[in-house]
Amino acid sequence: MNGTSTKPYLLRAIYEWCRDLGYTPYLSVVVDERTLVPAEHVVNGEIVLNVSPAATNGLSMGNELIEFQARFGGVARQLSVPVENVSAIYARENGHGMAFEVAIVPRPTAAPGADDAAGDGDADTRPMLSAVPPAASSDDDVDPMDDHGAGGDPDGSGDRPPPARSRPRLKRVK
């Protein structure tokens, strides 16, 4: 066996699945020194990117790099993401997709002029993905981003808070 990773093939397959069903594919990426993305949009060493055809230009999903142009604040930027830095690909509309283990420690994203609390530069800001149990409803058309859908308060009793909007509903694949 030659050690070729299946990850780029799985990324392309989920991307095509999203496109075929009319969903918006999003990539969650751990940012390090090799990742070329707008630093002002990196949160806790991670960035989430809309990679739909409407949001990108010249998208190339290779075996080593994902490269494309996208607009941020109306300005076109060239982005380059190593495939090994992709922690998830999912559909925005329903959160279905795939998460991956990423063995890369992200680049810290401290505010300009801010110092590490310990002063040692070793702040661990790596985002953690965890498996989310399936919702009580089996309706696949429910938008998990909608507070009134299966991910929110299903019986209207107010016992459960709405789902966090910043984390996709993914199952970790090893």
Q: How many CA atoms lie within 13 A of 142 on its CB side?
A: 17
4 pLDDT band (50/70/90 cuts)?
confident
91 pLDDT band (50/70/90 cuts)?
very high
Q: What is the mean pLDDT of residues 98-113?
A: 69
For residue 95, give the 3-state DSSP assignment.
Answer: coil
Bridge partner residues of 70 (DSSP): 56, 77
CATH topology assigned to domain 7-99? SH3 type barrels. (2.30.30)
173 pLDDT band (50/70/90 cuts)?
low
How far, in Å, CA of 153 to CA of 114, rounded? 39
Q: What is the pLDDT of residue 171?
A: 61
Question: Can you list the alpha helix ranges (DSSP code H) found in the chain?
Answer: 7-21
The tens digit of pLDDT for each residue in 132-172 reads 555 544 444 444 444 444 444 444 445 555 444 555 556 66
Q: How many CB atoms lie within 10 A of CB 39?
A: 11
Are the CB atoms for 64 and 83 separated by under 8 Å?
yes
Show the tokens assigned to 127: 């985002």
Show the tokens assigned to 114: 């801010």
- Burial status of residue 118 (CB atoms within 10 A of its CB: 0-12, 13-18, 19 or more): exposed
How far, in Å, CA of 90 to CA of 11, rounded? 9
pLDDT at residue 89 above 90?
yes
Q: What is the pLDDT of residue 47?
A: 95
The tens digit of pLDDT for each residue in 20-59 reads 999 999 999 999 999 999 999 999 999 999 999 999 999 9
For residue 57, give the 3-state DSSP assignment.
Answer: strand
Any idea where the domains of the chain sit in the sequence? 7-99
